[in-house]
Structure 1
Amino acid sequence: MNRVQRLFNGYSFILPSLVFTLVLGVYPIMWALRYMFFDYKGYGEARYIGLDNFARLFRDELFWDSVLNTFLYAGGKLIITIPLALLLAVILNRKLRGRQALRAIIFMPTIISSAVMAVVFFIIFNSYNGILNQLLLKYGIISKAVDWLGADNAMLTVIMIAAWGAIGNYMLLFLAGLQSIPDDIYESASLDGANPVQQFRYITVPMLGPVLQMIIMLAITTALKGYESIMVLTEGGPFGKTNVMFLYVYRLLFPVSTGSVVEQQIGYGSAVGFASAIIVGVITLIYFYLSRRLNNTY
C-alpha cells in the first residue's frame, strides 16, 4: 500500500465526521457571526448596521440581569454539586454491600433528558397541587403551600434540580480518580497514626488535584451554558429571576408569545450569543490561569 492510498484510507474514515462538523458546527457559527452586524428579524432583507447590535447590548438591562442570574446559578450549582459528588465518591469507594447498585442509582439522573427531568420536577414542585407541598402539609412540616417556583424560591429550586442531575456524573469521575490512588499510601499513613480525616486532607485531596481541576472546569462551563431545565420549569421567570444568558439568546432567536421577548431578532440574538460565549470563554481562561498558579505554588 503506497503513501497516497494510506492517506486516502485515513481521510476517508474521518470524512463523515468532518462533514458533520462543518455542516452542523462551523457553518452555523459563521452564519451567526455574519448576522451580528445586521438588523435581521428572520424575514425580509438583512440591513447592515455595523456595531449597533453591540451598542444596544451594553444598554440592555435584560441581558445584564441574565448575566448576573447565570453567575448565581452556576455558583450555586458548583457549591452544591462538587462537595456532594466528592463525598459520595469517597463513601461509595469503600467496600460496602450494594455499592454498585447505589452508584448506578446516583448516576441515573445524568442519562435522563433534562427536559423530561424538568417536567417531573415541575409536577413535584408545583405550588398548588405539587407532590412536595402535599407531603409537607400532610406531616405538618409547613402550615401553607410553598411557592417553590415563585420569585423568592425559583433560583434556589432550579439550582437544586440542576445539582441533582449533575452529581452522578462528577461522582463517577471522582471515583475514577480515587481508584487510581494506591492503597499502599493509605496503609503507610495508617501505620504513622493518621486518622481518616487526615488521610482525606493530606492524601486524597492532593492526589485528586488533576481530576478535581478537570471536574471544576467541566462544571463551570456546563453551568454557565445550561438553560434547558430552566426553560421547562420557569421559562426564565418569574419576573426574569431565572433568566440566564443562553435562555435569553434562545428567546431572541426562537421567541414565544409567553416569554419576555416576542419579536424574532436574529441579528441581535447572534450578537448576544457571541457576547455570552465570550463571557464563558473569559471565565474559563481565568480558571485555567488560577489553577496553573495554584499548581506552581505547590
Structure 2
Amino acid sequence: MNTKKKKCKITRDGVVSALMLAPSTILLAVCSIYPFIWIFRYVCFDYNGFTANFTGSRNFTRMLADKAFWGSVGHTMEYAAYKLAFIIPLALILAVLLNAKMRGSNVFRGIYFMPTVISTSISGMIFAFIFATQNGIANELLLSMNLIKTPIKWLTSQDWVMVAVTILAVWGGLGNYMLYFTTGMNSVAEDVYESAKIDGANAVQTFFYITLPMLSPVLKVVLMLAITSAFKDYEAIMVLSQGGPGNRSMVMFLYIYNLIFGTANTTTQAQIGYGALLSVVAALVVGIITVIYLFVSRKLDDVV
C-alpha cells in the first residue's frame, strides 16, 4: 500500500503573510506574553527589584487579609458603575444628535472627541485646577449661580471625590464612545429611516424601534470595551486624587501601582512580588466581569 506524504510547500503568499504578521506577533510576545509569564514568576517571592526571596504562600495569605486591596476592588466596581451609567447614555444621545444633518455637526464631533487625544496625566492636572476648593472653576461657577453657599471640597471630601473622578472619566471617554456609535449609525441604510418617516414614525419612535435595534451589535462591543477600560482606569485618578482621601478613590490598579513603584510620600521598598500576585487577581476580576457580561448579553439575544 502506497502512502503519499503531504509535503508542506512554502509558497510566496505564505511567506508574504508570515512577514506581514511577524511585527504584530513579535510585539504581542514581547509586550503581552512575556510580561504575563514574568508576573507569574514572582507571585511566590518577596521581590524588591534587586533580590528575590521565596516566601511560599505568604503573599496569598496576605492578599486574603488585605482589606485595603479588597476595598479598592469595591471602589473600582463603584467607579465603573458610575462611569457606565453616565458615559454610555450620553455618548449615544450625542451620536444621535450629531448624526442629524445639521450645520456644524462635524465641528462638534471634533470638540467632543478632542479630550480623548489629551494625555490622561494632563487631563488629571486640568481637573485638579477645576475642582480646587479655593478659586476652582467648578466652585466659582456654582457659587456665581447661587447653587451652593460654601465651596465643595471635591478632592478632599470622601463624599465628593468619587463624583469628581467620575466627571473626569466621562469627559475623557465620551468622544471615543460617541465615535463608535456614530460609525454604527452611518452603517444603517437611509432607506430604513425614509420608510419609517413615510409610516409616520416620530423621532422618539425612530430611535427606539430602528436606531437602537440596528445599533445592538455595536452597543454590545462598546459596553464590553467600556467595562474593561473602566476597571483598568487609574492614571487620571492617580494625578487627580492620588486615591484619597482615606483611600476613598483608590482603585485596583492604582493600589497595585503604588505597591510596585511606590508613592512620593513613601520610603518603603518596592513590593513587586506581592504586586505581581495582585495583578493576577485583578486580571481575574476583570476577566470574570467580562465573562459574566458576555454570558448575560448572549442570554438576552436568545430571549429576543
* Pairs within 5 Å for 1:117-132: 117-132=123-138
Q: Which residue of 2 aligns with 1:272?
A: 278
Q: Which residue of 2 aligns with 1:163?
A: 170
1:145 aligns with 2:155: no
| CA positional deviation for 1:212 | 0.3
Match of 2:301 among 292, 295, 298: 295
1:63 aligns with 2:99: no
* Residue identity matched to 1:283: I
Structure 1: unaligned runs, 5 residues or longer:
none
Post-superposition CA distance 1:28-61 (Å, at most 9, x none): 21111110111222233x2222332122111100
1:17 aligns with 2:21: no
User: Structure 1 pair 5/162, CA: closer, same or farther in 2 (3 Å)?
Assistant: same
Q: Which residue of 2 aligns with 1:111?
A: 117
1:250 aligns with 2:251: no
The total of aligned residue pairs comes to 295
- Secondary structure at the counterpart of residue 39 of structure 1: strand
Q: Which residue of 2 aligns with 1:196?
A: 203
* Residue identity matched to 1:123: F
* Residue identity matched to 1:251: N
Q: Which residue of 2 aligns with 1:217?
A: 224
Post-superposition CA distance 1:254-274 (Å, at most 9, x none): 002426x94411111000010
* Residue identity matched to 1:279: V
* Residue identity matched to 1:20: L
Q: Is the 8 A contact 1:93 1:175 kept in 2?
A: yes
Match of 2:89 among 80, 83, 97: 83
- Secondary structure at the counterpart of residue 298 of structure 2: helix
| CA positional deviation for 1:137 | 3.0
| CA positional deviation for 1:182 | 1.7
| Cα distance in 2 between the residues matched to 1:210 and 1:6 | 33
User: Structure 1 pair 146/15, CA: closer, same or farther in 2 (3 Å)?
Assistant: same
Post-superposition CA distance 1:183-229 (Å, at most 9, x none): 22222223333222112111111111000000000000000001000
1:237 aligns with 2:253: no
Match of 2:35 among 28, 32, 48: 28
| Cα distance in 1 between the residues matched to 2:164 and 2:48 | 34
- Secondary structure at the counterpart of residue 62 of structure 1: helix
Q: Which residue of 2 aligns with 1:178?
A: 185
Percentage identity across aligned positions?
46
Structure 2: unaligned runs, 5 residues or longer:
1-8
User: Structure 1 pair 12/204, CA: closer, same or farther in 2 (3 Å)?
Assistant: closer
Match of 1:47 among 37, 44, 53: 53
User: Structure 1 pair 139/198, CA: closer, same or farther in 2 (3 Å)?
Assistant: closer
| Cα distance in 1 between the residues matched to 2:260 and 2:95 | 40
Q: Is the 8 A contact 1:110 1:168 kept in 2?
A: yes
- TM-score by length of structure 1 reads 0.93
Q: Is the 8 A contact 1:256 1:262 kept in 2?
A: no
